[in-house]
Chain A
Amino acid sequence: DAGITQSPRHKVTETGTPVTLRCHQTENHRYMYWYRQDPGHGLRLIHYSYGVKDTDKGEVSDGYSVSRSKTEDFLLTLESATSSQTSVYFCAISEQGSSYNSPLHFGNGTRLTVT
Chain B
Amino acid sequence: TQLLEQSPQFLSIQEGENLTVYCNSSSVFSSLQWYRQEPGEGPVLLVTVVTGGEVKKLKRLTFQFGDARKDSSLHITAAQPGDTGLYLCAGTGSARQLTFGSGTQLTVLP
Q: Which of A's residues lie within 8 Å of B, judged by CB?
A: 4, 35, 40-45, 48, 58-59, 90, 92, 97-99, 101, 103-109
Contact = CB atoms under 8 A, between A and B. Distances in A.
Interface centre among A48, A90, A98, A106 (most CB of B within 10 A): A98
10 contacts: A40-B9, A42-B101, A42-B103, A44-B100, A90-B42, A92-B42, A98-B92, A98-B97, A105-B45, A108-B40
A43 B89 CA distance: 10
A36 to B, nearest CB: 11
Q: Is the interface of A mostly helix, strand, loop or mixed?
A: mixed
A101 B50 contact: yes
Contacts of A104: 33, 35, 43, 45, 90, 98
Contact of B43 (A48, A98, A101, A106): A106
Interface centre among B33, B41, B42, B100 (most CB of A within 10 A): B42
Contact of A42 (B40, B41, B48, B88): B88
Contacts of B98: 45, 98, 104
